[in-house]
Structure 1
Amino acid sequence: MNTRIIKLMFKQFFIVVTLGVLNSHTLIAQNVPDILKNKKVSKTNYLPDFSFAGYHWGEKQIPKGKGKIIFATDYGVIANDGLDDSGALLKALEDTRDMEGDITLQLPPGKIILSEILFIERSNFVLRGAGVGKEGTEIYCPRPMRLMKDPESLKELREYLIEFDKRQREPENNIDLPFSQYAWSGGVIWTQVPGERIKSYTAKYDRSKNVLANVTGGERGEHTLKVSESSNLKVGDVVQLELFNKDGEKGEIIKDMYKETGVKVGSHHWNFPELPIVRQQVKVVSKSGNTVKIKSPLTISIDEAYKARLVEWKHLKEVGIEHLRISFPDAPRIAHHVEEGYNGIYLTRLHNSWVDDVVIINADSGILTEGTANTTIENVVTNGDNKAHYSVAMSGVFNVLVKNLKVQNKVIHPLSFNTFSTKSVYQNCEVLIDPILDQHSGANHQNLFDNIIVHVKPKNNNYPLFKGGGAGYWKPSHGAYNTFWNINVHFLNGLNNNETILLNGMEDGPLARVIGVKGNNPIEIEYGPDAYIEMSNRDISPSSLYNYQLDKRLE
């Protein structure tokens, strides 16, 4: 074969390969939603940056062991002996509370029996088991929290439930029972800052906060604050930004959150003017005069009417719970909000912390949260025969990432953004039974469901996948810009794949972004008001908005 023929063949091969690459790139470009690639669309349809969610703002991996290891067996914990290990575990926690440096309390493999709450009350601490498999660590809780000593930190909640006569009333089921304090709070493993309030319920417990600076300005999506003075702020500190509604039912912050879309706004938005209606835990990156730079972008622009301020935020950091199972016995279900307290983990006042590689069996609620920021909860499975209230729920959180969660049990709210949740993410999660992508009212806004798989049994060719819960006084179901990205719906009804199924359930969630919802049947979506809906029934690229935004930021 002569040189000319070889050159011609190489040229043709180069053209074919080049065209193939171009076609591949064209295909990828065709799968990118306009809200990402079209500047005109993205300018008029705001999409929040969710990439700051998670441990160390998504910039660091969860650490794989560091510091001094303390063995629970040295304190008398004996697995598989059928005896209660609570006393030994509490002694181990007490002794490690004041130890210096990074501490890991290592649990042995086998079954450990627990009948009291394990309070984690220090930073730089890891509670670690030997894994979730048969040879791993199982914490078995034979009794519910209702039969344990009442936690002092829930005293305010108990009084609130009584004062306001909070009851579950279901006449058709002959139920008129008081709410349980464990319906949305508490866990047998519980992080807390001693003496610090978990959540505001009644005004008599209000105390003056340590105000570090008043905030006079800042733009949505930006990282800069204008403050009255910055002398009390230290670079590196994590503080709480608070915004208020002092102007009643017509307050400007209500208009900003719900964009005057006509949704009915509940009375809790104006009946508690001393309660911050928007809060973010922010790290002070730098300061110059009256200008302060923070790590995470603002969720809304700051108006003078919001009386915004930065206050001290007491919290734990670098706390991990990992490599273990938590199990509860089979138990009859009484009613919604009347749960006995078979709750696994309760995360309060945490920053830059994690839960990893945990299985929770037969819980009323698997993992509950309150007042937590920049924490990653990953590789969690909830299962069992008992019907649960929550699997892993987000309440009062900012920048929390829940990833690789598999919900295998029946749960009323399997994935839920609850009161005051902001800029948080469910990513790569799967719900196998009766899925609801719940947005539970309470001024939650700018949260993301990202690359989610749900298994659905529709009735009459429709299913309320987007149904929002929550009390009327905290409605609507969510604020502006909550986002759904690449939601994969596996219909289990055996219908012909050409039959269109309606996904609905949300009528009072303004300006949602619903992008890339698809299934093994054609899908129609009803979501209001004023939702931005794009690329239904299609594959989209990128498959994860969180990963895309994080990679773009870290470049």
Structure 2
Amino acid sequence: LPDYSYAGYKNGEELIPNQGVVYLATDYGVVANDGIDDSKALINAVDELRAVDGSVILELPAGKIILSDIIYIERSDFILRGAGSGENGTILYFPRPLMYVHDPEPLKELREYLMEFDKRQREEKNNIDLAFSQYAWSGGFIWTQVPGERVKSYLEKYERPVNVLAKVTSGKRGDFTVTVKNNNSLKVGDVIELQLFNKDGEKGKIVEELYKNADVKVGTHHFNFPDLPIVRQQLEIKLIDGNQVTFKSPLTISIDTSYEAQIVEWKHLENVGIEHFSIEFPMTPRIAHHIEQGFNGINLTRLYNSWVKDIVIVNADSGILTEEIANVTIQNITTRGEHYAHYTVAMAGVHNVLAENIIVENSAEHPLSFNTFSTKNVYKNCTIYKKPVLDQHSGANHQNLFDNITVHINELKGDSYPLFAGGGAGYWKPSHGAYSTFWNINIVLESPHLLKDPVLLNGMLDGPHARVIGIHGNTSFLVKYEPLAYIKMTNQSLHDVPSLYDYQLNSRLNYD
């Protein structure tokens, strides 16, 4: 099993902070419960506080605040705090979707990509042939970013040279130390990005390493873009000793010279917090998959050692979206409403992110999802009440953990249920790499006393070398997970170690 205990704020070693100089949003003209849009006032408050030194808390008043524009958070040491997510707390109400906001500059490349490649949702039986929305998997009304910094590659014309700090020649999976050619541009405390490439085509050694030579079809994106990294980790440098560089968290795969690995500069924000309020959207009908209008709550990009906590999200297309963040904790989030969502709390292109106590009360296409390039992330102590799927969404994602998850299944498909169905485009298949893990998954079936035979949990055909341990519930189950899965302790609740993350973290901290 990989060591997942490095996920979350400060690698799980420190509590989320609660400090900073408090500034009241009401002093900038934000007024709750007056029926007037407060977008300009709140944007002005955030903009003015960008220049304030030290840790800053922008405190929102209790009551309903109407907003219709994007709130960009673009500085470190900043907390956006409400008066609570429950009764008598703060409600951010967005009456209109993002499609009515001026096209965001950070999504310009995505918009051009969708048009150039004619990305469309085609469902002949439903008479649907519609262009993808730029907000299907990106964007949000609360949006963290480093201005001008790209977070995802779509078109070659937008590629820019990166600031290479060192070339890496070797390192072992699970170890913390790599060998570099030149360390002159590195220093202890730097947060960098480690990049690994596939320069050797369809049969490249890094592809074999990701999928451990399993008999799975490998999509073309693994070898059609040799100049883009196929494995990335955002890491903090702990020690430099000659040509040996030691990080605070371990490598996901061993490094071979053919990967042309490198350490590059990674611009990001730190100590950003979003907490203690609810986000509400009006109920709207779903059009189709990928045609979302943009009722998206929070979009996290370019964050390190940051957090989102105590947020209730109602009727969203996507509650919380992520891209290129690391060591972030997302906790105590509830998504609900009658609107059919695309994502609830999604992980895409992220590393060492901990999402805990995520309660999914609404129906969603991908209730919990590890997406492209996601590595060493954890969903822990989460509950899905409707149409559960533990989604792994293709794109070289590997070594992610579903930990102590409870799912409620209200309708079987015959005598089975596709709990492990993986999404994603064919050019990024298979669904995940080696060692992705399911630990202590509790299945709650409606009317289990009516069943005579064990229920088959399936849905995964191209997820090699998974670890599926402790699948259990209120009836008897069979587990089918292909290919080459390590399946143990089915129909056993792991009472002694309910959370693998907690066990590994406690073991590490006690050992240290």
TM-score under structure 1 length normalisation: 0.91
1:140 corresponds in structure 2 to 93
For residues 450 and 120 of structure 2, the distance between their equivalents in structure 1, rounded to whole angstroms, comes to 44
Alignment of 1:554 onto 2:509:
yes
- Output one character per residue of 1:89-119: Cα deviation in whole Å (capped at 9) or x when no partner: 0110110011100000000000000000000
Does the residue aligned with 1:405 lie in a helix, a strand or coil?
Answer: strand
1:544 corresponds in structure 2 to 499
Does the residue aligned with 2:357 lie in a helix, a strand or coil?
Answer: strand
Q: Superposition pairs for residues 396-545 of structure 1, below 5 Å?
A: 396-456=349-409, 457-496=411-450, 499-540=453-494, 541-545=496-500
Does the residue aligned with 1:177 lie in a helix, a strand or coil?
Answer: strand
Alignment of 1:53 onto 2:7:
yes
For residues 248 and 10 of structure 2, the distance between their equivalents in structure 1, rounded to whole angstroms, comes to 10
Q: Superposition pairs for residues 176-191 of structure 1, below 5 Å?
A: 176-191=129-144
2:323 corresponds in structure 1 to 370
For residues 376 and 421 of structure 2, the distance between their equivalents in structure 1, rounded to whole angstroms, comes to 20
- Output one character per residue of 1:182-238: Cα deviation in whole Å (capped at 9) or x when no partner: 000000000000010021101111100000000000000000100001110010000
Task: Report deviation, 1:66.
Answer: 1.0
AA at the equivalent of 2:161: S
For residues 107 and 497 of structure 1, the distance between their equivalents in structure 2, rounded to whole angstroms, comes to 51
Q: Percent identity?
A: 63
Task: Report deviation, 1:459.
Answer: 2.4
Does the residue aligned with 2:208 lie in a helix, a strand or coil?
Answer: helix
Does the residue aligned with 1:249 lie in a helix, a strand or coil?
Answer: helix
1:496–1:521 CA contact under 8 A, matched in 2 = no
Does the residue aligned with 2:405 lie in a helix, a strand or coil?
Answer: strand
Alignment of 1:225 onto 2:192:
no
For residues 402 and 370 of structure 1, the distance between their equivalents in structure 2, rounded to whole angstroms, comes to 14
- Output one character per residue of 1:482-520: Cα deviation in whole Å (capped at 9) or x when no partner: 000000000114443653000000000000000000011
2:232 corresponds in structure 1 to 279
Uncovered stretches (5+) of structure 1, i.e. residues with no partner: 1-46
Question: Which of the two has higher C-alpha Rg?
Answer: 1
For residues 450 and 107 of structure 2, the distance between their equivalents in structure 1, rounded to whole angstroms, comes to 52
- Output one character per residue of 1:61-114: Cα deviation in whole Å (capped at 9) or x when no partner: 111x21111100001111000000001001101100111000000000000000
Q: Superposition pairs for residues 194-233 of structure 1, below 5 Å?
A: 194-233=147-186
Q: Superposition pairs for residues 37-116 of structure 1, below 5 Å?
A: 47-63=1-17, 65-116=18-69
1:268 corresponds in structure 2 to 221
AA at the equivalent of 1:547: D
For residues 93 and 58 of structure 1, the distance between their equivalents in structure 2, rounded to whole angstroms, comes to 29
AA at the equivalent of 2:147: P
Task: Report deviation, 1:478.
Answer: 0.3
Does the residue aligned with 1:98 lie in a helix, a strand or coil?
Answer: coil
1:117–1:188 CA contact under 8 A, matched in 2 = yes
For residues 486 and 137 of structure 1, the distance between their equivalents in structure 2, rounded to whole angstroms, comes to 35
AA at the equivalent of 2:412: P
For residues 260 and 291 of structure 1, the distance between their equivalents in structure 2, rounded to whole angstroms, comes to 30
1:9 corresponds in structure 2 to none
2:448–2:474 CA contact under 8 A, matched in 1 = no
- Output one character per residue of 1:296-343: Cα deviation in whole Å (capped at 9) or x when no partner: 100000000000000000000000000000000011111000000000
AA at the equivalent of 2:443: V
Does the residue aligned with 1:380 lie in a helix, a strand or coil?
Answer: strand
Q: Superposition pairs for residues 122-133 of structure 1, below 5 Å?
A: 122-133=75-86
For residues 424 and 311 of structure 2, the distance between their equivalents in structure 1, rounded to whole angstroms, comes to 28
For residues 22 and 453 of structure 2, the distance between their equivalents in structure 1, rounded to whole angstroms, comes to 58
For residues 381 and 19 of structure 2, the distance between their equivalents in structure 1, rounded to whole angstroms, comes to 28
Give the direction of change, closer, same or farther, for the CA distance of 1:554–1:498 in structure 2 (3 Å limit): farther
2:280 corresponds in structure 1 to 327
For residues 333 and 165 of structure 1, the distance between their equivalents in structure 2, rounded to whole angstroms, comes to 22
Aligned length: 508
1:497–1:522 CA contact under 8 A, matched in 2 = no
For residues 433 and 330 of structure 1, the distance between their equivalents in structure 2, rounded to whole angstroms, comes to 18
For residues 213 and 430 of structure 2, the distance between their equivalents in structure 1, rounded to whole angstroms, comes to 12
For residues 135 and 543 of structure 1, the distance between their equivalents in structure 2, rounded to whole angstroms, comes to 34
Q: Superposition pairs for residues 241-252 of structure 1, below 5 Å?
A: 241-252=194-205
Does the residue aligned with 2:327 lie in a helix, a strand or coil?
Answer: strand
Give the direction of change, closer, same or farther, for the CA distance of 1:498–1:171 in structure 2 (3 Å limit): closer
Uncovered stretches (5+) of structure 2, i.e. residues with no partner: none
1:36 corresponds in structure 2 to none
Q: Hey, which of these two has a bigger chunk of helix by percent?
A: 1
1:411–1:434 CA contact under 8 A, matched in 2 = yes
2:305 corresponds in structure 1 to 352
Task: Report deviation, 1:450.
Answer: 0.2
For residues 481 and 447 of structure 2, the distance between their equivalents in structure 1, rounded to whole angstroms, comes to 23
Does the residue aligned with 1:397 lie in a helix, a strand or coil?
Answer: coil
1:317 is aligned, of 270, 280, 283, to 270
Task: Report deviation, 1:460.
Answer: 1.1
Task: Report deviation, 1:425.
Answer: 0.2
Task: Report deviation, 1:180.
Answer: 0.2
For residues 527 and 514 of structure 1, the distance between their equivalents in structure 2, rounded to whole angstroms, comes to 8
For residues 406 and 178 of structure 2, the distance between their equivalents in structure 1, rounded to whole angstroms, comes to 38
- List 4+ stretches of structure 1 deviating above 3 A: 493-498
For residues 63 and 505 of structure 2, the distance between their equivalents in structure 1, rounded to whole angstroms, comes to 39
RMSD over equivalenced CA pairs, Å: 0.7
2:455–2:476 CA contact under 8 A, matched in 1 = yes
1:497–1:520 CA contact under 8 A, matched in 2 = no
- Output one character per residue of 1:428-472: Cα deviation in whole Å (capped at 9) or x when no partner: 000000000000000000000000000012121100000000000
Does the residue aligned with 1:517 lie in a helix, a strand or coil?
Answer: strand
2:448–2:475 CA contact under 8 A, matched in 1 = no
Does the residue aligned with 2:404 lie in a helix, a strand or coil?
Answer: strand
For residues 331 and 184 of structure 2, the distance between their equivalents in structure 1, rounded to whole angstroms, comes to 38
